[in-house]
Structure 1
Amino acid sequence: MRLAVLSDVHGNVYALEAVLADIRAAAPDAVYNLGDTVWGGADPARAWAEQLEHAPPTVRGNTDETVAGWHAGRAEHWREWVVAQLPPEVPGVLGRLPTTAEAAGGELLLAHGSLHSAWDALFVNRSGGAASPDELLEQVGSWPRARVVVVGHTHREQVACADGVTFVNVGPVSRQLQGDPAARWALLERRGPLWNVTFRRTAYDVEAAAAWALAHCPDGEKEAGQLRRGRPVA
């Protein structure tokens, strides 16, 4: 069994198309999308259409909740712009997505942030430090069949193991944080009773994405700067 998992497209159709081409070449048995689908400024309308056709969202991300009209707060101006780019049904579609999904007979758990909230981070504990093995296992207590837990949200590739359960953050398709603009996704492979994870990085036309952001979206300079540099712009 070979499964592709992507997360945090953030409305970047240019990065998404490159990732989808890479996924097609890998020929997985299924593709899962961990949310934060359209909250971004590199053609979110086309990014949504591509996701609907090739990688529909499996769970909702925190910014999907914001697009759906939940707790926008100071980001309301950006929400209004994003929603205006999209078909009118999209906020409702995103708001109805689950927080958590199961696959592979319950061996695979999928979420955006943590198994309980799209806003929390799986690898971070309540004190803001790195979650210990026991704290990671505590999160999967309600899913005794789980062997792999896969999330996104923090835009960092991570992997940890605890008592036979593997915890994975696949990294983001867009809006990188660590100084490398390449798009991310992950390939999960089940061989017999064992699961393996391969982190994938995919080059894409960053300049085309940045140009779209500069021409069309609010705070286009910041969006384009982060896409180009692979880290946020102050």
Structure 2
Amino acid sequence: MADAQVELHGPAHGEGPPRRHGPVARVAVLSDVHANIPAFDAVLAEPDVARADFVVLCGDLTWGPEPQETYERILGLGERALCLRGNADRYAAGIGTAALTADTPRQAWIAERHSPEAIAFLDRLAFGLVVEIEGLGPVHFCHGSPRSDHELVTPGTPSERFAELSAAIDGRVLVTGHSHLQFDRAVAGLRSVNPGSVGLPYHTGEPGTAYWALLGPDVSLRTSRYDVEDAIARARAAVDPDAERYSDTLVNAPDPEKIVAEAERLIFVN
């Protein structure tokens, strides 16, 4: 059960219910890019991504070493890109519009590296959306959960909490991000899917692996290889205040089992 004292970060005031799209045959799902341009470029170059009817981006897009470049890549996708707000996007937009005050040098640094247009883009991102996909029906997409962009859904989320957080969705498939863990599981009578993180995954695979998913007519969990040393070099060249910690995460990713245990203990993490 959600703690009544936790502040939920759901749809923006006046946003209304999730917009609906489709029906379409194929949707590529990318989440938690975290401004890792080499990883993002590698996934965008995949033939199945290039051919997809839509590219759904499940939040935490520009919070990383190259925010503006990430925004420009998204613009290049045109109307195929359906973008959602992650908790990091909420922070970047809040700091960039002076609605929030940066708590750390990196928070200020990231916000400053967005153009006014990029900040405005983040500020109007949708909280959730629904796409009718061949073979899957209506699929609900969000960053954290359908009730807050900072609620963690993992492979270990108990059926009781999952049933509670998904109670209002239309469809049998819920796609979330935020946990940086790739999975596809049946729980509480629904299908819980996370494409994993493109730019900062938690995994046991080789460094330089980006995670994503292709939906329609079923769920296909995918990976793409990219030059991790290039990503590290770009973070350092950008003078990202968090470049060393970021780089260490790219080459020494956290253990998924530990992440699941910590996430299920905390439940809500910004």
Q: Which TM-score band (shorter chain)?
A: 0.7 to 0.9
Indicate the SS of the match to 1:69.
Answer: helix
> Could you state the TM-score of these two structures normalised by the residue count of structure 2?
0.73
Alignment match of 1:212 (pick from 234, 241, 258): 234
Give the aligned CA root-mean-square deviation in angstroms. Answer: 2.3
Question: Quick one: structure 1 residues 21 and 142, their matched pair in 2 at CA, closer, same or farther if it must change by over 3 Å?
Answer: same
Q: Give unmatched runs, 5+ long, in structure 1.
A: 125-129, 191-195
Q: Distance in 2 between matches of 1:166 and 1:90?
A: 33
**How far is the alpha carbon of 1:231 from its aligned partner?**
4.1
Task: Show the counterpart of 1:138.
Answer: 164
Indicate the SS of the match to 1:68.
Answer: helix
Alignment match of 2:103 (pick from 70, 74, 78): 74
**Count of paired positions:** 219
Task: Show the counterpart of 1:188.
Answer: 215
1:160 aligns with 2:191: no
Alignment match of 1:120 (pick from 136, 143, 151): 151
**How far is the alpha carbon of 1:57 from its aligned partner?**
5.0
Deviations, residues 142-197 of structure 1 (Å, cap 9, x unaligned): 23x3121101101001222146521101100011222433001001112xxxxx21
> Could you state the TM-score of these two structures normalised by the residue count of structure 1?
0.84
**How far is the alpha carbon of 1:30 from its aligned partner?**
1.6
Question: Quick one: structure 1 residues 164 and 179, their matched pair in 2 at CA, closer, same or farther if it must change by over 3 Å?
Answer: closer
Corresponding letter in the other structure for 2:129? A
Question: Quick one: structure 1 residues 32 and 153, their matched pair in 2 at CA, closer, same or farther if it must change by over 3 Å?
Answer: same
Q: Distance in 2 between matches of 1:57 and 1:37?
A: 12
Q: Distance in 2 between matches of 1:46 and 1:26?
A: 19
Q: Distance in 2 between matches of 1:91 and 1:223?
A: 22
Q: Distance in 2 between matches of 1:165 and 1:72?
A: 39
Q: Distance in 2 between matches of 1:23 and 1:138?
A: 37
Corresponding letter in the other structure for 1:115? P
Q: Distance in 2 between matches of 1:188 and 1:72?
A: 38
Q: Distance in 2 between matches of 1:230 and 1:34?
A: 21
Instruction: State the identity %.
Output: 33
Q: Give unmatched runs, 5+ long, in structure 2.
A: 1-24, 256-270
1:99 aligns with 2:127: yes
Indicate the SS of the match to 2:103.
Answer: helix
Q: Distance in 2 between matches of 1:175 and 1:162?
A: 26
Q: Is the 8 A contact 2:181 2:194 kept in 1?
A: yes
